[in-house]
Each structure stands twice: as structure tokens, then as C-alpha cells.
Structure 1
Amino acid sequence: MADFLDVETEAQFDEKLEAVAQQEPTIVRLHNSAIPEVKSLLYHAYRHEPTFKYLFEASRPGYEQRVRATLREGLKLHFEHQQDAIGLLDHDVLAAVALIGAPEHRFNLADQLSWRMRMMMTAGISSTKRYLDYHSQIRRCFPDDLYHHLPFIGVHPKYQSRGYGRLLMQTIEGFCAESPRSSGIGLDTGNARYLRFYESLGYERIGEVRFDNITETVLFKRVL
């Protein structure tokens, strides 16, 4: 094919390839039209997590379906309440995502009747009860004042070890710092690797919740 290209065209083509290879990741605000892509990314990011394996009973058949159902219903609820979501694009492919709960929207999942009914029908009664208990115990660890909360954050396994998680967290902190009502950012993890990562960013442990043999650590960072 190169035989049919003149020298100038080949040079331009090579420059274009080099520019694409060096393209910086892009941060974007996501809307509900991105739900399918976000759900797929979060599924790959969370399905092997210890907390999810406990909550949705990985030892029983149908685990993957329960995880997908939980993510679908969680995303639907998040966007229905007009909460923010930030994505990181690598060459126009969604590589990382974070859902951000606003300080004034710390709703109790137990009060979300339609969400609870859909969860019981798709994820099952047992997993829904476990998830509600998890959510309730985690909420009790956070401070009483207003703060942002990250219910879901993940980097697709294909794009890990590129610094995207750190870049995404820096963007989140800048976004949350713009809100005068927020005292900081809260999140939780049951993965020791991610615990070390968050602590390296200045997040401090404010509580722990035990589920079977899983320790879920709750963290908080003041954002000025």
C-alpha cells in the first residue's frame, strides 16, 4: 500500500500516528447516555473485589448477573438524582470513571423503594439485604457534616498502572473543592492495594466495618 503514497503523504501519516500515540488522556463529565459503557467498566473493575464477592455471594451460581444488576440499578439511581460522574478517556475509550455523590444528596438506599424492588428482582433478596446492611454501616462511619461521597470509582484492568487512578482522583478533588458546602470526600475499600493508594493521596482511615472475613476500610480527606 505504501507504494501508492507519495513521500509527503507518508510523512503526514507518520506524524498523525505519532500524535495519536502521544495523546494525553481526557477528562469528561458523563451523562446517562454513557451508562452502558460505565457499567461495563465498573463490572470489570469490581467483579474480583473481595467486598463484592461477599455481598453478592460469588460461591453461588449467578454471581456475575447479580453484580451487573447491582451496577445497573446503582447507575440508574445515581443519574436519576442528577449526580455527577467523571470519566477519563484514553484515545476516546472510557478507561476510568468515578461517580460523585453531592453533599446534599446522601440518600439512604433503604428509603429508595423502586430501587429496592428492582434489586430484589434482579440481584436477589439475600444480596439486596447484604448490600443494604453494608451501605448502612458504611454511612455511619462518616462525619455528620456535608461531604462528597464516591460510591463507585474504577479503572478498567486494561488501563491500570498508567497513573490514571491518581489523575482521576486529583480531578475529583479539584471538582469537589469548588463546592463551598463540602467538608471533604469520603470513600471505602476492602482491597489492601487500593487502601495503600488512597492513603498515599492523603486519605485517612475513619472507620472499619467487618463482613464475614472482609474488612472494609472507610476513608476521608478534607478538601480545601
Structure 2
Amino acid sequence: MSADIHLLDSAHAREARTLLYQAYLHDPTFTYLFESERPGYEQRLRATIRALVDQHFTQEQPAIGLLLRDRLIAVALIAPPQRRLAITDSWLWRLRMLLSVGVGSTRRYLEYQRTLLGSLPPGAFHMLPLLGVHPQFQGQQHGERLLRAVHDWCMADEQSQGLVIDTGNSRYLEYFRKRGYEELGQIAIGPVVEHVFFYPIASS
């Protein structure tokens, strides 16, 4: 049975939080940002995912998901070009982060975002701040179908020049390259090498 593509809203926030927490639990960038070697890592990661997802839906930013028998199995949060800083610039989001994950983790996450955005060339790019497939459904081409749906959605915006995604997980590098993503460059996030990829919507 194939999964259905849906534009998500706040009614899916809880499922999205759970799925993305599982997807990013062992991500190299997030394990560094939120200090996986220190007690409380899972709580800090869960709180960060909750703050990001809730703020994303509160600001009515777009999100696309795959639903299988009404179960969310994959999700992509999309940041339009004109709203890439909308969440992390929010004083409410920063306050929630400070109270739930602490000053150090909040500062590292904000620096990561600034470094990432500073590495991009000028232009109207969509970004994928969070993207994940439920671990039980990985390796079944759901991620590829989700990306195609995101590409189609971004193409509907005549102002968009493309889509940017970044990853510090080496297992995904060849995956993105094979799907038409060009590597813009690399940035250092502590000991992690973050690869920044671009998908040119205009030429797709």
C-alpha cells in the first residue's frame, strides 16, 4: 500500500515531533550541538525538536508529509526564501530554548544556523530545516518520494531558484548527489563537517 502525500498543519505536530526526534537521535550534527556525551541529551534533543516543530506550525510555514493508513511516516519542514530566519529570530522560540535546553545548546544551535546561512550565495532558495523518515520505513523509497513532493511544491513558486539542504551524516552524501543535488560547500560545526547541497528548481 503506497503512502499518500499531504500538506500538513498543526494537527500533525505531535506525530511530526516524534518522527523527527527518532530521525535525528543519532545525527552527528545534533549529537554535537546538544552534547550527547552529557546526561540529558535525549531531553535536550526532544525539547529542541518540539520547539522547532511547534514554532514552524504556529507561523504557518509549509510542511509536507507521507501518510500510510493515516500514520505519518515521513515529514519535511520547508522554509520559504523570505522566511528562512523566521523561527530562530523569534524571541518566544529563543526563550523556550533557553528554558528547556540551556544557554550553551541554544548558543551552539544559533551559531550553526548563522554559519549555514552565511555559507549560501544570494538568491531566493527554499530550505529544509528538518527532514525525516520513520526508522521503521527507511530503505523503502519513502524518502525519495517525499523529496519529489517537496521539489514539486517548490517549483510552484516562480520566485524560487532552488532548494537547500545540509547534512553532517556521511551516509546521505551519495544519496543526495544521485538525486540531482549539487554540493555548494562544507562548513565546520565543531568537529562535524556539514555538507551543504543545492537542488536547482529552475532546471529540474
Distance apart, 1:181 and its partner CA: 1.0
- Contact 1:185 / 1:221 at 8 angstroms: preserved in 2? yes
1:63 aligned onto 2:33 = no
CA distance in 1, matches of 2:137, 2:28: 21
TM-score (norm: length of structure 2): 0.95
CA distance in 1, matches of 2:59, 2:120: 21
Task: Pick one of 150, 154, 168 that aligns with 1:176.
Answer: 154
Name the residue aligned to 1:193.
171
Task: Pick one of 152, 160, 178 that aligns with 2:138.
Answer: 160
Residue by residue, what CA displacement relative to the aligned partner does 1:64-95 show, whole Å, maximum 9, x if unpaired? 11001101110122112211111101222111
Task: Identify the range of structure 1 (100-109 vs 71-80) with the bigger mean alpha-carbon deviation.
Answer: 100-109
**SS in structure 2 opposite 1:96?**
strand
Distance apart, 1:110 and its partner CA: 5.3
- RMSD after superposition: 1.2
Distance apart, 1:44 and its partner CA: 0.5
Alignment of 1:32-181 (within 5 A): 32-107=10-85, 111-181=89-159
Name the residue aligned to 1:12.
none
- Contact 2:16 / 2:75 at 8 angstroms: preserved in 1? yes
- Contact 1:31 / 1:79 at 8 angstroms: preserved in 2? yes
Q: Which runs of 5+ in 1 are unaligned?
A: 1-22
Distance apart, 1:204 and its partner CA: 0.9
Residue by residue, what CA displacement relative to the aligned partner does 1:165-205 show, whole Å, maximum 9, x if unpaired? 00100111011001011000001000111121111111111
Residue by residue, what CA displacement relative to the aligned partner does 1:95-135 show, whole Å, maximum 9, x if unpaired? 10000111221226553211111101001111000000000
- Contact 1:109 / 1:132 at 8 angstroms: preserved in 2? no
Q: Which amino acid aligns with 2:192?
A: I
Q: Which amino acid aligns with 2:118?
A: R
- Give the percent of matched residue pairs that are identical in Structure 1 and Structure 2: 42
CA distance in 1, matches of 2:56, 2:129: 9
Higher RCO structure, 1 or 2 (CA under 8 Å, sep 6+): 2
Change in Cα spacing, 1:110 to 1:176, as seen in structure 2 (3 Å) is closer
Change in Cα spacing, 1:172 to 1:218, as seen in structure 2 (3 Å) is same
Residue by residue, what CA displacement relative to the aligned partner does 1:27-65 show, whole Å, maximum 9, x if unpaired? 111101111100000000001111110000001111011
- Contact 1:45 / 1:157 at 8 angstroms: preserved in 2? yes
- Contact 2:3 / 2:68 at 8 angstroms: preserved in 1? yes
Change in Cα spacing, 1:109 to 1:101, as seen in structure 2 (3 Å) is closer
- Contact 1:185 / 1:223 at 8 angstroms: preserved in 2? yes
- Contact 2:55 / 2:87 at 8 angstroms: preserved in 1? no
